[in-house]
A and B are shown apart, each in its own frame.
Chain A
Amino acid sequence: MAGVTKSQLNLKINIYRIIRYGLIALLVVIVIIMLSGKKESSASFESVSAAVSGSITTQKAVLNSDRYLKKYFGLNAEEYDGVLIYTPATNMYANEVLLIKLKDRSQADAAAAAIEERIESQRTIFSGYAPDAVGLLENAVLDVQGNYILYITDDQADRVDEVFRNSL
């Protein structure tokens, strides 16, 4: 204990102890705040998809088979609890809707990243000749709510998102 007395050492130990307790308490508070945040919804996929479908009024996107999830987003429909997909009615439109019910919350990041990639690639395609479509894509809604994800590119996106949130 060169140069440090026992009482100095004990003082140091006590200071470290207080800092550690303080930090652990802080971490616990952060974790509690985060855990009490967005919870998984127990609403059935049928009820949420019915609500979302019912709120879609555009003719520029059409309901399609969940196989298009692979084609457009590179995701496997069979790995999710439910998929509802509306694809652009023609190549001239950017309007599309995707609703996913996740099996596992850990799927959220990969699904959201795939959707963001799709938005970016659509923006690249439409930029230069379809400013309206680019505008829609820039205002696209990507809403992750626990075990549900909604993505919508449409001028009614905010309204559909509100219906989606209320249905959870």
Chain B
Amino acid sequence: MIFSSLFFIFIFLPVTLLLYYLVPWKLKNFVLLIMSLIFYAWGEPVYILLMMFSIVFNYVSALQMDAYGKARRKRERRTSFVVTIVVNIAMLGVFKYYGFFVNNLNSLFGSSLKAANIALPIGISFYTFQAMSYIIDVYWGNVAVQRNLIDFGAYITMFPQLIAGPIVRYKDIARQLKHRTLSFAGISDGVSWFIRGLAKKVLLANNIGMLYDSVFAIASADRAALTTWLGIIAYTFQIYFDFSGYSDMAIGLGKMLGFEFVKNFDYPYTSRSATEFWRRWHISLGTWFREYVYIPLGGNRVGVPKHIFNILVVWLLTGLWHGASWAFVLWGLFWAVLLLLEKYIYGRFLEKAPSVIGHLYTIFAFIFGWLIFTSSSVKGFSNDLSSMFGGLQNGFADATTWYFFTSNLILLILCGFCSTPAVWRVFRNNARSRHPALRILSALSYLVILAACIASLVNASYNPFLYFRF
């Protein structure tokens, strides 16, 4: 089930909210757990067993670590922790990377091992990382062990962020699992977040995605250079509005249920450096890797060679987290190199240079990054790259380029504007205005946007979120 579907908006969500609001506080997490399991089972009837395994295994493992701690059996507590992390990673490894691993073994050694065809369980990367954040924080003593299986199950399965994040760390939400408030202001804020996210997905991402699809429907050898540029710019907007739209909807749904999730995007395309970009893009994943991998490795409080090693490890893992493909590894390493160059070579220059230079550099960096990211193979990437820069056998631009450009110009400008805080600032200021007319205008504009989204969904074919594949 996806948020941007009529079934979710008109049936699942109202029924869930009605049940959730009607039951007493004691039962709210139970309702949330049951509805989240239904939400997940809708698309993954078999793999729900895997998620239930994850819940029970991590719940019991934390209790065991806690008991070892109380019995002062440090070594066994550590072993229990290591085994739990290994099982989590192994589960992710088998279901996400097994085929990739076998294929690479075959390429390396010329063997002909056969890989079973296992479909990737939706959301496995997200909920496994959430479970591991809990286990690590319990082991480090940052949070108390959760003794209530319903509360822990609700944390892992919570449907707003279950299948595409944000990755909510247990320590950020532990208190809210027991004590949270529901207010009219909070719920209405949640509704506006949800509508904004829905608009990003349905009105912007889906439409600009059609430009990307049309461009990349032409074989790279037949594309003019500027056409490929237009296509990858369209993808740049699509992935931002698709993923940040999902995150906004998740945050909005969380607010409707009384939860406050961490922000996952902060206008990343307005960044002036790669370092800043990664402080603003998929914040919850960056935070996870920083806290549970980068800092334990020593972070930047080590010598230069070790720091370079730490950055490379974190970005190799970040690339692999996105999928079992060498293109993702290349993408992670591309960002690692940029971050290291900024840290050791030209970071200071970027800071002092006119902001336009920083913006242009970062725009070029993330567009190039998405070109790697969207390639399903290294060969596909090199073909597209050649079409953008080298292989100008079809010229710089042709009639197709101008057709795509003129027919999408307004949408491209709109996407550009909506990538900055300016548009949402107008909405926010109107909603908070002292003038009743502006507040009414704000409410009306949300209604119009919602109506436009629904009208668009009625005619749309199935269009899942890009980040479901992770």
Contact = CB atoms under 8 A, between A and B. Distances in A.
Interface in B305-333: 323-325
B223 to A, nearest CB: 11
Residue among A31, A76, A147 with most chain B CB within 10 A: A76
B60 A23 contact: yes
Interface in B108-127: 112, 114-120
Contacts of B324: 104, 106
Contacts of A145: 117
A36 interface: yes
B301 interface: no
Interface stretch (B67-75, B395-403, B446-454): B67-75
B67 A38 contact: no
Given A79-B376, A79-B380, A120-B462, A20 B64 contact: yes
A24 B182 CA distance: 39
Given A16-B60, A39-B114, A113-B464, A106 B217 contact: no
Contacts of B118: 34-35, 37, 105
A78 B119 contact: no
B100 A6 contact: no
B94 A31 contact: yes
A80 B103 CA distance: 14
B119 A108 contact: yes
A4 B67 CA distance: 10
Given A9-B67, A16-B67, A146 B100 contact: no
B217 A74 contact: yes
A12 interface: yes
B216 A108 contact: no
Contact of B67 (A13, A27, A108, A110): A13
B380 A78 contact: yes
Contacts of B50: 30
A26 interface: yes
B70 A4 contact: yes
B49 interface: yes
B91 interface: yes
B120 A109 contact: yes
Given A27-B87, A106-B323, A113-B464, A79 B379 contact: yes
Contact of A40 (B87, B117, B461): B117
A30 B49 contact: yes
Given A1-B70, A104-B325, A106-B324, 17 more contacts: A13-B67, A13-B68, A20-B57, A20-B60, A20-B83, A24-B87, A27-B57, A30-B49, A30-B53, A74-B216, A79-B377, A103-B377, A104-B100, A105-B117, A106-B100, A113-B464, A117-B461
26 contacts: A9-B71, A13-B68, A19-B56, A20-B57, A20-B60, A23-B60, A24-B57, A30-B49, A30-B50, A35-B94, A35-B116, A39-B116, A40-B114, A40-B116, A70-B217, A70-B219, A71-B217, A74-B213, A79-B376, A104-B100, A104-B325, A106-B99, A106-B100, A106-B120, A108-B119, A109-B120
Interface of B: 49-50, 53, 56-57, 60-61, 63-64, 67-68, 70-71, 73, 83, 87, 91, 94, 98-100, 103, 112, 114-120, 213, 216-220, 323-325, 376-377, 379-380, 383, 461-462, 464, 469
